[in-house]
Amino acid sequence: MTAITHRTIQTNGIAMHIAEAGSGPLVVLCHGWPESWYSWRHQLVALAEAGYHAVAPDQRGYGQTDRPAAIDQYTQLHLVGDIVGLLDALGEETAVIVGHDWGAPVAWNAALLRPDRFPAVVGMSVPFSSRGDIRPTAGMTMAFGDNFFYILYFQQPGVAEAELEADVTASIRRLYFAASGDMVHSPQVLAPRPMAGTRFLDNMPEPEQLPGWLSEADLAFFATEFERTGFRGGLNWYRNMDRTWELMAPWRNAKVTVPALFITGEKDPVRVFAPEANIRSAVPDLKDLVLIPGAGHWVQQERPAEVNAALLKFLRSL
């Protein structure tokens, strides 16, 4: 079986841990929250065996990569800059960039800001959203009113950290199950709840057993990483949504014009934010929109064979 190797590179002022496999054209895999390079374990091997150099970093704030203390060091410009620097460290001019969950905005924005370096893009679960005229948190407040919304809950430093870090293993287990296709009513993860006294994990049940795609060893890997690092680094990505919006003013209503693919799970609760018409409008060269039956939010972990097939079909078409 193809081996996954590890090393640390220097990029954009930080030390970044990367996992990699294979040789050939470069494909960079950007993970989401709360995950790490390990969420791409199935894709690293499949891409390598198909003739690609697959690289999955622990992104800024995660795993074995540096975690700057200042909240303002986690804007999309920092995160895209990290990946540009990753290409430079590898001696590569271009790469296809793939992102899931929070990694998807990194991938979309990399293709938007540096199409010379990222001439094709794959987003998973989170669609591209052009920079509009309403500050993100203001729009969320307008939309949710007095109801709880997790992104607004995450804005206050220390609050979500205290909840999630009280029992890291249980937090990861409940969140992964609740947003997966194994949850009978996964959209209820985002169902309206009163703001007062509500916490993030309140409507995420403890599963009777782990879903088939997540072994005890997998859960232990993720939990061990967050036991060591805490959740602050990843949560700081949420705390920069307004700051990124301010910095992205020159790209108001801009579209991603490079060839693109979007993959999402049929039962992903985030689908309520991803109408197909909006995606096709914002990404005019969208080659395909792949809906994976039965999959929830953690699509590349839940349905690796289907995701790998879609990825390879797109890569070969380039």
Active site residues: 101, 297
Give CA–CA dist 44/283, Å, rounded. Answer: 26
Helices and strands in the chain, H and E counts = 13, 8
Q: Under a CB-based contact definition with an 8 Å cutoff, are residues 21 and 12 in contact?
A: no
Q: Under a CB-based contact definition with an 8 Å cutoff, are residues 36 and 62 in contact?
A: yes
Give CA–CA dist 62/17, Å, rounded. Answer: 9
Neighbours of 155 (CB within 10 A): 15
Provide long-range contacts, Cβ within 8 A and 24+ apart, for 312-316. 312/46, 312/47, 312/50, 313/288, 314/120, 314/122, 314/259, 314/261, 314/287, 314/288, 315/25, 315/27, 315/47, 315/50, 315/52, 315/96
H or E element in which residue 254 lies: none
Give CA–CA dist 109/213, Å, rounded. Answer: 30
Termini Cα distance of the chain: 27
Place of tokens 């395909």: 288
H or E element in which residue 144 lies: helix 136-144
CA 307 to chain centre: 15
Q: Under a CB-based contact definition with an 8 Å cutoff, are residues 20 and 81 in contact?
A: no
CB-neighbour burial class of residue 239 (10 A; exposed 0-12, middle 13-18, buried 19+): buried
